[in-house]
Copies of this chain bind each other. A is one copy, B any other.
Amino acid sequence: MEFWFTEKQTERFGITMKIKRTLHSEKTAFQQLDMVETEEFGNMLLLDGMVMTTEKDEFVYHEMVTHVPLFTHPNPKHVLVVGGGDGGAIREVIKHPSVEKATLVDIDGKVIEYSKKYLPTIACALEDARVDVQVDDGFMHIAKSENEYDVIMVDSTEPVGPAAKLFERGFYEGISKALKEDGIFVAQTDNPWFHQDLITNVYKDVQEIFPITRLYTCNIPTYPSGMWTFTIGSKKHDPLKVEATRFHEIDTKYYTKDIHNAAFVLPKFVQDLLK
């Protein structure tokens, strides 16, 4: 007997993978949480039936959401991750020696708890001395922060359920206020094959608030279409004008200095979404 998990990534398309066993299933206060062991991708975290991260391909998302803004900022000291309870982004953040404090604010403590248990190579940095983990509403945390962070990363689920308000213009205005005067923020903004409107709308909103707005992409096999986008809003530093000397040696599997720059080169149909 074979068990397969299928995520319908749209009403008409999905991915399917062979499952060894379910490790944990729970309806938390915020969402359905499932942790399963897959044959192809190792352990995998699902929230509301959507793949969040897998042991095999997690490095792409976590490196790309982190190192692009952190190398763009000349001296990031205080970094905030909104969401990201699996700890993968935090693990990458603390690879930067300039970082003095990395704050994680995830609304769902269960995500943190079960990531520590079943995704130990991803959650491994959550106990680091520089890391401050808060189980709290990221939207509210942003609302009450002012001039505090060098870099803010929005590592959210899709714009349904608890994360819906993290894709609204008001949230980006709050982020701008929470950032220092040369701060940078990045948000995951889904894919350009099935969610064109989201990319176009977020880009427009961010562009109205931040002087420098950029979109970049990477390849994640377990995410819809395999092409994922991130939107950057920056008050001062341009991710396309990072001085070569700024890049230092870092242990990665996807990100490189050259990938940093190439990731902003967009296929024509993606460029056209930003006009």
Report which A residues bind B (CB closer than 8 A): 6, 10-18, 38-41, 56-57, 60, 193-194, 217-221, 224-227, 252-256, 258-259, 261-262, 265-269, 271
Once the chains are docked, how many angstroms separate the CA of A194 from the CA of B226? 14
User: What number of copies of this chain does the assembly contain?
Assistant: 2
> When A and B form their complex, which 6 residue pairs have the shortest distance between CB atoms, in order from nearest?
A226-B226, A262-B265, A12-B40, A12-B39, A221-B225, A262-B262
**Closest approach, in angstroms, between the C-beta of A38 and any C-beta of chain B?**
7
Taking A221-B226, A253-B269, A262-B265 as given, write out 9 further A-B residue pairs in contact, using a Cβ cutoff of 8 Å, ordered by the A residue number.
A14-B17, A57-B193, A219-B219, A219-B225, A221-B224, A226-B226, A255-B268, A256-B265, A256-B268
Residues A13 and B18 in contact, CB atoms below 8 Å apart? yes
Residues B6 and A16 in contact, CB atoms below 8 Å apart? yes
Once the chains are docked, how many angstroms separate the CA of A193 from the CA of B40? 10
**Residues on B with beta carbons closer than 8 Å to the beta carbon of A267:** 60, 218-219, 253-256, 259
**Closest approach, in angstroms, between the C-beta of A141 and any C-beta of chain B?**
33
Once the chains are docked, how many angstroms separate the CA of A256 from the CA of B221? 24
Once the chains are docked, how many angstroms separate the CA of A235 from the CA of B267? 28
**Residues on B with beta carbons closer than 8 Å to the beta carbon of A217:** 219
**Closest approach, in angstroms, between the C-beta of A42 and any C-beta of chain B?**
11
Q: Which residue of B lies closest to A217 (CB)?
A: B219
**Residues on B with beta carbons closer than 8 Å to the beta carbon of A6:** 16
Residues B18 and A11 in contact, CB atoms below 8 Å apart? yes
**Closest approach, in angstroms, between the C-beta of A205 and any C-beta of chain B?**
25
Between-chain CB contacts (< 8 Å), 21 pairs:
A10-B40, A11-B39, A12-B17, A12-B18, A13-B18, A16-B16, A57-B193, A219-B225, A220-B226, A221-B224, A221-B226, A225-B226, A226-B226, A254-B269, A255-B268, A256-B267, A256-B268, A256-B271, A259-B266, A261-B262, A262-B265
**Residues on B with beta carbons closer than 8 Å to the beta carbon of A60:** 267
Residues A16 and B15 in contact, CB atoms below 8 Å apart? yes
Q: Which residue of B lies closest to A19 (CB)?
A: B12
**Closest approach, in angstroms, between the C-beta of A124 and any C-beta of chain B?**
19
